[in-house]
Amino acid sequence: MRYNRRGLLILAVFIPLLGCGSGGGETDVTPATGTPAPAVSTEVTTETGAAVNTTVLTSMLSHFKFTSSMDAEILNFIKYDFGTLSAWTDTTRTQAFTNLANLYGITNVNALTLSQWLMDRITYIYPDDGKDLQFAFIVPTENRVYQVSVDTAAGDGVAASNIGGGLYSIYLDQHRNGVDGMLLNFNQNYVPFLSPRTGVMQIGPSFFDQTDSLDTNDATRRGRRTVKSLYRLSVLFHEARHSDGNLQAGTLSFAHLNCPASESIAEEYIGLPACDDKANGAYNIGAQILTAMEGICDSICSPRELSVIEAIHLDVLSRLLIDDTPANYGDPSPEASLRPIDTRSYEIIPEQ
């Protein structure tokens, strides 16, 4: 079969923060069950001293799968952020919770429902390290699996990117050539890729700031650590939205639009795919979680640190090209999953 190798459609979040990248994995030729994520302790220290909901935290740490070569420091930051969400119990911001419930399509807003919303949409996490993503096409009429790869590098200024929608678009393009399924290379094994809801994302070079620290013994930086944790959580929720939507409604992956020249949009975004024309798109999803969870900062963040949250919130909302009302929501219903295909007896064709 023919496959024109090209760069993948990257559904990324552009936020101007400095950060660092990490390493990636190698490939194997045998389709198999994926290996588990690296073991991560459930012991976390929260800035407020609040008890962590261990059910939520354990569930999140068990669900998310990281490449085996993911930097240990990155894993610690993500565990810290999961702890931030797992310890969140605020009930005071009722209007923000109502808005978030409508936006996310959930009944109650709490750590359990939000963590489940996230896990329904993201599972596999790679570093954006410049290495090609390895995957495979399944062609049942030939009893063959064709190994292929694609460039998924998102570039400078990208905090994270959801690549599941791009992979699904490649599947749709190749389906006419007899491709009836896909496999994702993860930790040197192949796992089924069944829809954008398989949940594949990359952590980009701007996910972490060079000054980020998890030194919880430094009480003077509690507020900063909390603000940065909320920011990183907002990025994860942003990327999770890109696993939603469907072709029929024209909302597949809630893809961003190139930002037009406008007084309300920062100059660095003009011409980049960093704006949304759906009020329930990824940027608003990320912005509103900041507002809803801001109560974590009440006792530990300075006015300046709170202003950082507000600045991020306003920056993101400036890129909504329509009014923020339910009338401007797009259909978030996901694409139906592809059928799993047993490929154990198939011939494996290496990439040409």
DSSP of 7-52, one letter per residue?
BPPPEEEE--------------SSB-PPPPPPP--S----TT-PPP
DSSP 117-159: HHHTT--EEEE-SSPPEEEEEEEGGGTEEEEEEEB----TTEE
* pLDDT for 172 beyond 90: yes
Q: Which residue has the higher pLDDT, 16 or 146?
A: 146
- CA 11, CA 160: separation in Å to the nearest integer? 9
Q: Considering the chain, what percentage of its residues have pLDDT values greater than 90?
A: 58
How does residue 137 score in pLDDT terms, banded at 50, 70 and 90? very high
Helix axes 303-317 and 282-293, enclosed angle (nearest 10): 160
First to last CA, the chain: 11
Q: Which residue has the higher pLDDT, 232 or 41?
A: 232
- CA 295, CA 306: separation in Å to the nearest integer? 10
Average pLDDT over residues 312-337: 93
Q: Which tokens hold the place of 128?
A: 């954006």
User: Mean pLDDT over all residues of the chain?
Assistant: 84
* pLDDT for 45 beyond 90: no
* pLDDT for 105 beyond 60: yes
Q: What is the pLDDT of residue 258?
A: 95
| φ/ψ of residue 298, rounded to 5 | -50, -45
* pLDDT for 266 beyond 70: yes
Which helix H or strand E contains 223, and what residues bound it? helix 222-241
- CA 105, CA 305: separation in Å to the nearest integer? 30
- CA 37, CA 64: separation in Å to the nearest integer? 7
Q: Which tokens hold the place of 130?
A: 């410049």
- CA 157, CA 15: separation in Å to the nearest integer? 6
Q: What is the pLDDT of residue 276?
A: 96
* pLDDT for 1 beyond 50: no
Q: What is the pLDDT of residue 196?
A: 96
Helix (H, G, I), strand (E, B) or coil at 217: coil
- CA 343, CA 333: separation in Å to the nearest integer? 29
Summarised one tens digit per residue, pLDDT across range 72-99 is 888 888 999 999 999 999 888 999 999 9
Q: Are 164 and 120 in contact (CB under 8 A)?
A: no
* pLDDT for 28 beyond 60: no
Q: What is the reported pTM?
A: 0.86
The C-alpha R_g of the chain, in whole angstroms, comes to: 20
Summarised one tens digit per residue, pLDDT across range 207-258 is 877 777 777 777 778 888 899 999 999 999 999 999 999 999 999 999 999 9
CB-neighbour burial class of residue 185 (10 A; exposed 0-12, middle 13-18, buried 19+): buried
Q: Which residue has the higher pLDDT, 40 or 134?
A: 134
Residues pairing with 273 in the sheet: 258
